[in-house]
């Protein structure tokens, strides 16, 4: 497993650097990561048995389903999905009481909360007046959802204090931080129009970019998709530019999220190598 962990750590460090610099993780890195994970799983299955390979594919399927839900809801980009599929294969879905994928997702929830708070607090303080106005608007739209998540959080904290089951502990941690994650989302939406939008040339568009609004040019209508632009969409927009009908578009950038996976993975490794996971098993 140590080889898989080293591979995951190196890939997440590189992906985080790319995400900070260009808000994009190269497909070459993501697909190579998935291929290497599968290759190592096949190799180690010769020693540990066929179940080692099955656990890897099961982990990939579980995290693929989880990440695709967030992708099609417009919360994550394609690079996030591919990396999480690789991590799913790396960790594997063990048929035992302890499930490393659930623990990793709990680490993502914790790391995401800390990272997100630090990131958006700096931006909010920098644009305080505009932020206050936008935050009030977005909170009113989601107040019932926020109150529901707060109630779930309170219940999960009580459950956390009364259980020793590792799965219940992990699930309770995830539910406990839901209000924080939702608050981060609301704050991010409040900052979006202030900090997370920019106008780029059509030639600069890359797969996964999110348009902020539909495009209508001389009878041509192009809808802004939650899952972002596909390559065929970009080609259509470039066709409009060649005709002299469209020069630039406004896209949503958002917060670089890959570093959350890196911090969560480091937290996961610290928990495992501290011996806590052995005790939980």
* Residue 89 CB neighbour total at 10 angstroms: 29
What is the block-wise mean pLDDT of the chain (281 residues), using blocks of 10 residues?
Answer: 89 92 86 94 89 89 87 72 92 75 88 84 84 84 84 82 72 77 78 80 82 79 74 85 86 83 92 62 45
Please state the domain extents for the chain: 2-95, 116-194, 197-252
Given this model, what pLDDT does residue 280 score? Answer: 47
Give CA–CA dist 222/212, Å, rounded: 12
Residue 40: its pLDDT value, please? 92
Query: What integer pLDDT is reported at residue 281 of this predicted model?
Result: 45
Distance CA 146, CA 149 (A): 5
CB atoms within 10 A of CB 273: 12
What pLDDT sits at residue 253? Answer: 77
pTM: predicted TM-score of the whole model, two decimal places: 0.69
């Amino acid at each position: 497993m140590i080889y898989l962990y080293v591979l995951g750590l190196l890939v997440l460090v590189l992906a985080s650097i790319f995400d900070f610099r260009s808000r994009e993780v190269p497909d070459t890195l993501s697909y190579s990561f998935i291929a290497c994970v599968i290759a190592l799983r096949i190799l180690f299955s010769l020693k540990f048995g066929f179940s080692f390979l099955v656990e890897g594919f099961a982990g990939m399927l579980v995290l693929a389903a989880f990440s695709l839900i967030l992708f099609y809801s417009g919360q994550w980009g394609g690079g996030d999905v591919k990396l999480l599929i690789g991590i799913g294969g790396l960790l594997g879905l063990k048929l035992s009481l302890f499930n490393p994928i659930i623990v990793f997702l709990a680490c993502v929830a914790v790391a995401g909360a800390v990272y997100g708070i630090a990131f958006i607090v700096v931006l909010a303080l920098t644009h305080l007046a505009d932020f206050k106005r936008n935050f009030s608007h977005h909170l009113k739209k989601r107040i019932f959802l926020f109150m529901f998540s707060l109630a779930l959080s309170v219940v999960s904290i009580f459950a956390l204090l009364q259980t020793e089951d590792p799965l219940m502990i992990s699930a309770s941690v995830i539910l406990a931080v839901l209000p924080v994650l939702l608050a981060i989302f609301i704050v991010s939406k409040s900052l979006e129009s202030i900090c997370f939008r920019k106008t780029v040339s059509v030639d600069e568009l890359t797969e996964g970019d999110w348009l902020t609004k539909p495009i209508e040019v001389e009878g041509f209508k192009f809808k802004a998709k939650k899952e972002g632009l596909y390559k065929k969409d970009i080609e259509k927009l470039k066709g409009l530019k060649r005709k002299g009908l469209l020069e630039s578009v406004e896209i949503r950038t958002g917060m670089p999220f890959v570093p959350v996976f890196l911090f969560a993975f480091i937290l996961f490794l610290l928990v495992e190598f501290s011996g806590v996971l052995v005790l939980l098993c």
